[in-house]
């Protein structure tokens, strides 16, 4: 089967129910071949359940998912051969060395001895673990283990990679290293990558398209830029002035695109549809009125704003109110 003629992943009305709790509510989306697709949402949003259904680890309650042209239920084996999966938990064996971990997986995928001896050093090299080849994984940092697992997931040259929260729990340096690896993979190997994350910056930096998941549903799906554009009045201009006149706030409120002006200890927070336009007009106005602008800055739309706009909540709030539900189904 030639996967390039297909979308890499086609999910149709996929649903998963644990008892009374519906973890994933009839979700549909497609992932195009060669793109990095992000599922963005708080803990407990259903991201892991979605990934587990797509990677044949959890059977769907209803709906279908085709991965690499194979149905996850009727052709689970076909899916397993086509995909590489990096689960959220660190799944490399700490009691084995990096090479041994790779070796065992290569054998599970039926690689020949010649393929193994050629491929394993290459893959370890590509994740920067060459010098740790024969070290026990138990001595690795979280970032090193994660990189090893990414290499391990590539041992059978999959067409599609699933990464479930690949950088959760990693320090900033390791996160950057993992991001670079993911980008490199896409470019060099032409892989289709589906990753989940609850980090806005990660989704923004890595993904070609992002699906925002909340309470088991997709609430938005587009490129990061378009998602940000779709949010009205999302820029915030912060400005500080020397001795502004009494009607200054009202004046600022009349600039084009401005939705509101708030004064926090002398610093004006101006919500506007377009930060740059507002700043230009603000500077002109200040010069005309003889007001000295001490400081001005624009905060562009972030995916935080996007998330807030589509879910009505800050990501961190969403995380705290879903965490209990998340636990309850995990321990069932």
Partner 1 sequence: MKPQRIFAIIERDMRKFLRSPALMMSSMIFPLMQLIVLGYAFGGKIKGIKIAVVDDDRTVYSRDLRERFGAIVAGPQTMQVENYNSVSDAIVDLRAGFVRAVVYIPVDYSRRVDQGNRPRIAFIEDNTDNFVTSEILGRMQDLVKDINQGLNPFQPGQRLTVPLPRLNPLVDLEVVELYPYIEYIKYLLSGSIAMSVFIVAMIGGGITFIDDKSRGLHEGYLVTPITKSELILGLIFSGAIKGLMAGTTITIIGGLIAGIDRLWDPVRLLYLMAVLATTSVAMISFMFLLMVRVSDPLVPRAMFGVLNTLLYFPSGAIYPVEGFPVWLRWISYIDPFTYAVHALKALLLKNAGFSAIYSDILILSGFSAVLVILSVAFFKRQI
Binding-site ranges for partner 1 (CB under 8 A)? 52, 55-59, 77, 80-81, 83, 85, 87-93, 105, 108-110, 149, 152
Taking the least distance from each CB to partner 1, the nearer of 27 and 72 is 72
Taking the least distance from each CB to partner 1, the nearer of 70 and 215 is 70
DSSP H/E element including 132: none
- What CA–CA distance (Å, rounded) separates 66 from 263? 52
Q: How far is the CB of 262 from partner 1 (least distance, A)?
A: 44
Q: Check residue 97 and report its DSSP letter.
A: B
Helix (H, G, I), strand (E, B) or coil at 12: strand
Taking the least distance from each CB to partner 1, the nearer of 92 and 305 is 92
Buried/exposed 39-70: b ≥16 CB within 10 Å, e otherwise = bbbbbbbbbbbbbbbbbbebebeebbbbbbbb
Taking the least distance from each CB to partner 1, the nearer of 57 and 221 is 57
Q: How far is the CB of 153 from partner 1 (least distance, A)?
A: 8
Q: Residue 257, exposed/middle/buried by CB under 10 A (0-12, 13-18, 19+)? A: middle
Q: How far is the CB of 276 from partner 1 (least distance, A)?
A: 47
Q: How far is the CB of 126 from partner 1 (least distance, A)?
A: 19
**228 CB-near residues (< 8 Å, 6+ apart):** 234, 300, 301, 302, 303, 305, 306
Taking the least distance from each CB to partner 1, the nearer of 113 and 260 is 113
Q: How far is the CB of 236 from partner 1 (least distance, A)?
A: 41
């Amino acid at each position: 089967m030639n996967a390039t003629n297909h979308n890499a992943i086609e999910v149709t009305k996929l649903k998963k129910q644990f008892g009374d709790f519906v973890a994933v509510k009839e979700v549909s989306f497609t992932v195009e071949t060669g793109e990095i697709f992000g599922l963005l949402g708080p803990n407990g949003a259903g991201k892991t359940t979605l990934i587990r259904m797509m990677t044949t680890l959890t059977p769907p309650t209803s709906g279908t998912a085709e991965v690499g042209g194979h149905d996850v239920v009727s052709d689970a084996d076909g899916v397993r051969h086509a995909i590489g999966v990096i689960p959220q938990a660190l799944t490399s064996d700490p009691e084995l060395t990096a090479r041994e971990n790779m070796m065992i997986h290569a054998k599970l995928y039926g690689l020949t001895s010649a393929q193994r001896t050629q491929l394993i050093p290459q893959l370890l090299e590509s994740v920067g673990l060459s010098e740790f080849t024969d070290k026990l994984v138990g001595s690795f940092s979280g970032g090193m283990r994660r990189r090893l697992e990414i290499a391990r997931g590539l041992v059978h040259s999959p067409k599609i990679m699933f990464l479930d929260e690949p950088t959760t729990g990693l320090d900033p340096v390791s996160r950057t290293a993992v991001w670079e690896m993911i980008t490199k993979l896409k470019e060099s190997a032409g892989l289709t990558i589906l990753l989940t994350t609850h980090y806005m910056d990660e989704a923004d930096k890595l993904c070609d398209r992002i699906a925002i998941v909340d309470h088991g549903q997709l609430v938005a799906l587009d490129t990061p830029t378009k998602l940000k554009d779709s949010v009205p009045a999302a820029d915030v201009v912060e400005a500080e002035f020397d001795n502004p006149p009494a009607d200054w706030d009202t004046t600022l409120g009349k600039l084009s695109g401005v939705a509101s002006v708030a004064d926090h200890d002398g610093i004006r927070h101006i919500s506007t549809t377009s930060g740059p336009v507002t700043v230009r007009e603000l500077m002109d106005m200040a010069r005309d009125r003889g007001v000295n602008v001490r400081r001005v800055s624009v905060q562009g739309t972030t995916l935080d704003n996007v998330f807030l706009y589509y879910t009505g909540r800050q990501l961190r709030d969403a995380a705290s109110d879903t965490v209990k539900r998340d636990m309850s189904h995990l321990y069932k």
